[in-house]
Amino acid sequence: MTRTTAIAFLSTCLLAAGCGNADDLEITDVSAELTDGDKSDGITAAAKKTIPEGAAHLYFGTPSSAYVTDDAPYGYHWFTANPGVEFKVGAWEDDGAGNNVAGQVVDFKLQRAVKKSGRWQWKVVAYGQHFGGSGGSAVKYTPARSSGQGLYLVTPVAQQHPASLRITLACGGAECATAKQPGDSCGGHTRVPSICDDGLFCNYEPGVGMCGYADAPGSCAVRPDFCTEIYQPVCGCDGKTYSNGCKANGAGTGVLRVGRCDVDVEGSWSGRTAGGGKVDYTFDADGTFSSTQSPACVFATPACLVKLAPSLGTWRVFDRTLSLTYTSDFHQPRATDLSFVTTRSVDHLRGSDYSETLDLTRPN
């Protein structure tokens, strides 16, 4: 079917009665089924085998793009949805700023995967009709409550090529999605597993979620398709070092901290000051730390009348620099940096704190 024929056919279907019959359009068959194991979204692997190669996953409340040309005139997008709740699909040409291009006609068909004679096929359930002079199209659809969780395919086509299309998916009520969507809370300790939809990952911001330590929640996020080659190394939640945060997210992991994973500062460190005193630090895995100086007193006279409590704060690694931020009001300075250095196979943290020049090492 040529591009012109496809557009004319879709436009004719919008006006013709009974055009929503699945037999009116070509149906994609699956020649071999996979094991019907449950997925995070409740859709079987065999049904997903019907998804066209290169189709993008569409998420509720998160616009997606499709770039169609004469060589590839269809912008395939797929999603899953629960039964009994209305959802709305929209499509229009994007001018690059998120606005409709007036006069550009965009039509699409909405299909659902159904099993017929033991094989999964696509059945047309609705058509997107362009509205007004905007050229965009939209359709509202409510799956029958008895239909179960469904797998859907959106196939938009533009009247002129090339065209950058914007595809949207919105829920008309609640509980449309079969799994967590972008921005939804994930991870942490919950009675119901917080599983992100396929193609998403549970993202933790460095220094905030700490990769779920102490049941801290994250949020579902879309994996980036493109990342710059800027070198700003981070330690991912999977324990691997990435060249930047975008690369870590693209691999499906959040960021534990800025800096390489091989800079391991967790645990106890101590050192002597020039005046003969001692400083001790404990860096915890959740990004917090405590430090003490001994001897240390509030008042010099009488000596050591009231001992200071341990100073508390948070820590982050930037490449090979340990950045400390104190949360204890009485500690000065409120922030300082220590450098991570390895000399003769011995790790050192060097810098200044407590008004002293420090060289910290791990206790034997």
* CA separation for the pair 25, 197 (Å, rounded): 30
Q: Which strands form 217-222's sheet, in the order they lie side by side?
A: 185-187, 217-222, 200-203
* Averaged pLDDT of the chain: 80
pTM listed for this prediction: 0.64
Q: What is the pLDDT of residue 33?
A: 30
- Report the SS3 class of residue 280: strand
Which range scores top for mean pLDDT: 19-33, 183-197, 250-264? 250-264
Q: What is the pLDDT of residue 194?
A: 62
Distance set, CA 171 to CA 87, 94, 174, 175, 301 (Å): 4, 22, 7, 8, 69
* CA separation for the pair 37, 57 (Å, rounded): 20
Question: Using an 8 Å Cβ cutoff, are 220 and 200 in contact?
Answer: yes
List the beta bridge partners of residue 203.
219
pLDDT(352) > 90? yes
* CA separation for the pair 104, 166 (Å, rounded): 12
Q: What is the pLDDT of residue 90?
A: 92
* CA separation for the pair 338, 349 (Å, rounded): 6
Count CA within 13 A, CB hemisphere, residue 244. 9
Provide the percentage of residues in the chain whose pLDDT is more than 90.
36
List the beta bridge partners of residue 322.
317, 338
Which range scores top for mean pLDDT: 87-96, 119-128, 292-301, 302-311? 119-128
Residue with tokens 């091989």: 262
* Of the options 3.30.230.10, 3.50.30.50, 3.40.140.10, 3.30.60.30, the CATH number for the domain spanning 185-258: 3.30.60.30
CATH number of 3-171: 2.60.120.380
User: Which CATH topology does 267-360 take?
Assistant: Lipocalin (2.40.128)
Q: What is the pLDDT of residue 227?
A: 92
Question: Using an 8 Å Cβ cutoff, are 351 and 359 in contact?
Answer: no
Domain boundaries, the chain: 3-171, 185-258, 267-360
pLDDT(141) > 80? yes
pLDDT(130) > 80? no
Backbone angles phi, psi at 3, to 5 degrees: -60, -45
pLDDT tens profile 17-37: 333 333 333 333 222 232 333
Q: Does an H or E element contain 247, and which? A: helix 245-250
